Structure 1
Amino acid sequence: MNLMRLLRGDTDAPEWYDFPGGVHPPENKTQSLRGPIAEFPLQEEYVVPLNQHIGAVSVPVVEVGESVLTGQVIAEAAGFISAPAHAPTSGTVTAIEDRPVPHPSGLTTGCIIIRADGHDTWRPRTPWAHLQDHHHTDLLARIQNAGLTGLGGASFPTAVKLAADRNHVDTLIVNGTECEPYITADHALMRERPQQILRGIEVAHELYDFRRILIGVEDNKPDAVSALRRALTAIPAELEARIELRVFPTRYPSGGEKQLVYLLTGQEVPAGGLPTDLGMLCHNVGTLAALADAVFDDRPLISRITTLTGNQLPWQGNIEVRLGTDIRTILDWAGYQPDPNRAERIIMGGPMMGFALDQRQLPLVKATNCLLVPTEQELPTPPPAKPCIRCGQCEQVCPAGLLPQQLMWFAQSHEWDKAESHHLFDCIECGACAYVCPSHIPLVQYYRFAKGSIRREQAEHRQSERARLRFEARQARLEREAAEKEARRRQRAEAARARQAEQATTPTADSSPADPVAAAVARSKARKQASQSAAGRATATVSPGAPELTREQLSARLDSQRRRLEKAEAKLAAAAPEHQKAMETTVSKLREQIHKTEQQLADRPEREA
């Protein structure tokens, strides 16, 4: 082992270091490498999911009935960790609705459906000839607007990854391993388009000025290695001097990010950490090729190379296909004929880390690097799981140095805290443990279940914590407002006492009482006495001993009473049912008063005569 060479004190540094564990499943890669990358024809309809990446779901910026051009933004990023989506071809938006998408749980998500017009008319593009003519901020914005995500399977937004601290990162790790059986998309890309990968490396180097660039490729890809070496001779000497092409023995899962970092550098990414903690940045060769397209040619991520393989497909190979293409159409193009004697099984990804699709009518997404359609003889259905016999083989092949058996017990008993303490989240879900398990226990499914449960509990805890903080903030606000109100009350009381003290020390002959309460009582008594006096005067005017009214006074009273009657009758006509009885009483009294006044007025001339 090369690591042993270092321990013995050998002066020559090895080209690769040996990571623990790993397995050697059948590769099955030659079937899809017999020809060049094929161009998949344009289709009549494309379904573009809004959630093809890790992070926030993108937000549509088009409406139903709107015409779009190839490469046009149809959904914008909804946050820092997000990515926009683009129209894979020109046409018309026919719907924005939930559709099923490739997912282990068969979920649905929002999708933009585009009816192609067949012209594939591009939006205006502005290619860049020289990176040095543009600021780093503009370069990052161009990458973000292109909707790039990791094409190795993780689908993490590339712009976010390239926004890491430039003062801390000095090494670029280029992942050309593609260790998963059956998948050859990256292999075909390195073999046929190595210059495009190196142009993507040039873009990343422009941002970081890497001290060294390590390209890792397994030794089962000699034609890809030869193509990369030839392409390296045509790049600027300054950049070529920093690039090292490392070839190491084939073993699964050497393509894992942490395993590849250790293979090429001998440094171990800390538990729960990232390669950036070691000053390293990892990118897949497919991601770098898409990076070159986005920056130099202003071509957003609207297509990707996908492997079609499995003995149930008459045609096997690699195709470059537009995102949103119906998987059913792709398989029909490859000559797929379902076996009527067995259940249909289509796997997105490889046999180790891929998942079975619940139907064929699904859109191809940014993470679709392979469509595997095996026969039963080629990839038998796993038999029912048996009890664990504690053989320990899973621990021996784990590339992360974990205890798979113990993690399974914790997952079965829902002991999430113990699973976390045993570094559950360092599991890369490579499936090596399940591959060697003689009891056929689906170990990775247990780990995924445990991770999902822990994330769900953490999300619920964060939500309850936010609610608690909001409640405490409200209580603090109410207490603060109460304290401020009490302070204002005390301030007013102190001001009143100060005024009383001032009035007591400087009395005047005509001043009001020093006690404000006594002054208020005196004013109230005065108002009451004035009211009583007015009432007495009014009573005196109608008392029996009062002088009789003249004819002119009676006429004025009669006019006033008639006007009041008219108003009362108008209110009665517009009154609600519940108020009519009261208004009728008022009208009746007014009529009696008018009748009385009329009699007094009729008698007045006789008395005056």
Structure 2
Amino acid sequence: MLGKKFTFKGGVHPPHFKRYTEQVAIARAKDPEIVKIPLQQHIGAPCEPIVKIGDKVKVGQKIGEAKAFVSAPIHSSVSGTVKKIAQFDSSTGSKALSIVIESDGLNEVHEDVKSKGSLDSLSKEEIINIIKESGITGMGGAGFPTHVKLSPPPEKKIDTVILNGAECEPFLTADHRLMLEKPEKIVDGLKAIMKAVDVNKGYIGIEENKPDAIKVMKEIVSKESNIEVIAVVTKYPQGDEKRLINAITGREVPSGGLPMDVGVVVNNVGTAAAIADAIKTGMPLIERIVTITGEAISEPKNLIVKVGTSFKEVIEQCGGYKEKVGKLISGGPMMGIAQFTDDVPVIKGTSGILALNKKQAKIAEPSPCIRCGKCVDICPIKLQPLFISQLSLKRMYDEAEEYSPLDCIECGSCSFICPSKRPLLQSIRVAKREIISKRKKS
């Protein structure tokens, strides 16, 4: 009898390009002399600065206050002096009000950073508050405030928690290395999440192309009767939370819906590890593992980098560029954001810094659509990308809205598979932006 294949309908199989860093152990980056910390590193409302120029700050000190529910506070990653508070370029693709801090090199930790006690001693309300005050957001790239995910309305009964260890994006290996090197921390974080939402069943989904991580995580949870490691089929975008829910539970999140609508909460393995740290040490989210990779990088690495460190400085610690850069991307090649400069800071959602050479970055000239239907066949959301794109390129956004472009998860599978190299994803993003803008105005 054949075993169940944990996967979803649609998707593509881009080259993995994991070989650069999948065997490279996590190391700690050198401390930066200057950090530039944006006050918007998450989905939702930006923070308001609660320090001023000239103030002395310490590691883990709150410097940005979240005034809205869908937001997350910002903390200093170094000890030193606040030098500027101004608008600067961010790796999100826009400018953000940022706090510039000159490090004193002492790494003096703020007095508020202390252990929150054992998980057994904490109530679910206390766990959620710790997560909120620690500024923890989704670390797979989306940056959704984690405390919001763990606070569903009473009518949304959650019965399952899934940790996302798929890491389906090409080139990236930060989560892979975390699962190999810090599996206990991931499981501790998962237990905290399960307690926070009062759930007794947890899964950890890992793509089959990471057999070593699957083995390690299975060993760690072998004595946990309510936690199961699931090997999911290697296919992009397997790491999208709705695809992962469908693959593991068989449930399908409705159009316009959220995971909580089918009783599930999904978090990244990196997020779980950050939660474990916040409870055990009291340290808020001030650093993360970043994969620095690509043909243009001299020594690809997985580094623990402090939030606010410039891409340029991180790349220099990887031997710098070994050849002309064709494209610099924050994140991976499928869903990452191309950068026009390396003078942008690492933020909470920076899973990777990808430097492609001229050959890797070369984009073929688009030709007319041949109506092959491949983009429709592989779309994991079952959309019709060719029609949304055509209408968007003609600026017919009202007509495009009829094809549900807001359901698009921007995975880029359609652009990847298109034989005519049409700008499908780019034009769909434009349509989404215009439709959302119109709704806000009305």
Report TM bin, short chain. over 0.9
Residue 355 of structure 1 deviates from its aligned partner by 2.1
Gapped runs of 5+ residues in structure 1? 1-9, 462-609
Question: Any idea what SS the aligned residue of 1:30 has?
Answer: coil
Q: Does 1:323 align with 2:307?
A: yes
Q: Per-residue displacement from partner, 1:479-518 (whole Å, max 9, x unpaired)?
A: xxxxxxxxxxxxxxxxxxxxxxxxxxxxxxxxxxxxxxxx
Residue 137 of structure 1 deviates from its aligned partner by 2.6
In structure 2, which of residues 138, 151, 169 is the aligned counterpart of residue 163 of structure 1?
151
- List aligned pairs for 1:371-386, cutoff 5 A: 371-377=353-359, 379-386=360-367
The answer on whether the counterparts of 1:16 and 1:265 sit within 8 Å (CA) in structure 2 is: no
Question: Any idea what SS the aligned residue of 2:356 has?
Answer: coil
Residue 416 of structure 1 deviates from its aligned partner by 2.8
- List aligned pairs for 1:163-562, cutoff 5 A: 163-165=151-153, 168-233=157-222, 240-337=224-321, 339=323, 344-377=326-359, 379-461=360-442
- Equivalents in 2 of 1:254, 1:135: separation in Å? 33
1:546 aligned residue: none
Q: Which shows bigger deviation, 189-198 or 118-127?
A: 118-127
Mark the CA change 1:435 to 1:344 in structure 2 (over 3 Å): closer, same or farther: closer
Mark the CA change 1:207 to 1:343 in structure 2 (over 3 Å): closer, same or farther: closer
The answer on whether the counterparts of 1:15 and 1:246 sit within 8 Å (CA) in structure 2 is: no
Q: Does 1:138 align with 2:122?
A: no
Instruction: List structure 1 segments (4+ residues) > 6 angstroms apart after TM superposition.
Output: none
Question: Any idea what SS the aligned residue of 1:455 has?
Answer: helix
TM-score by length of 2: 0.96
The answer on whether the counterparts of 2:138 and 2:144 sit within 8 Å (CA) in structure 1 is: yes
1:478 aligned residue: none
Question: Any idea what SS the aligned residue of 2:16 has?
Answer: coil
1:126 aligned residue: 114
Residue 47 of structure 1 deviates from its aligned partner by 0.4
Question: Any idea what SS the aligned residue of 2:102 has?
Answer: strand
Q: Per-residue displacement from partner, 1:59-91 (whole Å, max 9, x unpaired)?
A: 011111110110000110021111111010110
Residue 58 of structure 1 deviates from its aligned partner by 0.1
- List aligned pairs for 1:28-107, cutoff 5 A: 28-104=17-93, 107=94
Letter in 2 for 1:411: S
- Equivalents in 2 of 1:355, 1:383: separation in Å? 19
- Equivalents in 1 of 2:5, 2:257: separation in Å? 22
The answer on whether the counterparts of 1:16 and 1:246 sit within 8 Å (CA) in structure 2 is: no
2:99 aligned residue: 112
Letter in 2 for 1:245: V
Residue 276 of structure 1 deviates from its aligned partner by 0.5
Letter in 2 for 1:347: I
Q: How many residues align?
A: 440
- Equivalents in 2 of 1:17, 1:231: separation in Å? 21
The answer on whether the counterparts of 2:330 and 2:339 sit within 8 Å (CA) in structure 1 is: yes
- Equivalents in 2 of 1:420, 1:295: separation in Å? 44
Letter in 1 for 2:102: R
When you count helix as a share of all residues, which structure comes out higher? 1
Letter in 1 for 2:145: P
Identity within the alignment, %: 38
Question: Any idea what SS the aligned residue of 1:113 has?
Answer: strand
Mark the CA change 1:165 to 1:16 in structure 2 (over 3 Å): closer, same or farther: farther
- Equivalents in 1 of 2:163, 2:126: separation in Å? 24
When you count strand as a share of all residues, which structure comes out higher? 2
Relative contact order higher in (CA < 8 Å, ≥ 6 apart): 2
Letter in 2 for 1:373: A
Q: Per-residue displacement from partner, 1:455-479 (whole Å, max 9, x unpaired)?
A: 1111111xxxxxxxxxxxxxxxxxx
- Equivalents in 1 of 2:69, 2:237: separation in Å? 30
RMSD: 1.6
Residue 15 of structure 1 deviates from its aligned partner by 4.2
Mark the CA change 1:374 to 1:344 in structure 2 (over 3 Å): closer, same or farther: closer
1:497 aligned residue: none
Q: Which shows bigger deviation, 310-319 or 330-339?
A: 330-339
Residue 150 of structure 1 deviates from its aligned partner by 0.2
- Equivalents in 2 of 1:363, 1:352: separation in Å? 21
Mark the CA change 1:380 to 1:280 in structure 2 (over 3 Å): closer, same or farther: same
Residue 139 of structure 1 deviates from its aligned partner by 2.3
- Equivalents in 1 of 2:276, 2:325: separation in Å? 42
Mark the CA change 1:213 to 1:45 in structure 2 (over 3 Å): closer, same or farther: same
- Equivalents in 1 of 2:246, 2:313: separation in Å? 41
Residue 338 of structure 1 deviates from its aligned partner by 6.3
Q: Per-residue displacement from partner, 1:187-242 (whole Å, max 9, x unpaired)?
A: 01001100000000111122223232121111110111111122114xxx5xx111
Mark the CA change 1:91 to 1:15 in structure 2 (over 3 Å): closer, same or farther: farther
- Equivalents in 1 of 2:196, 2:127: separation in Å? 8
- Equivalents in 2 of 1:35, 1:409: separation in Å? 43
- Equivalents in 2 of 1:372, 1:15: separation in Å? 35
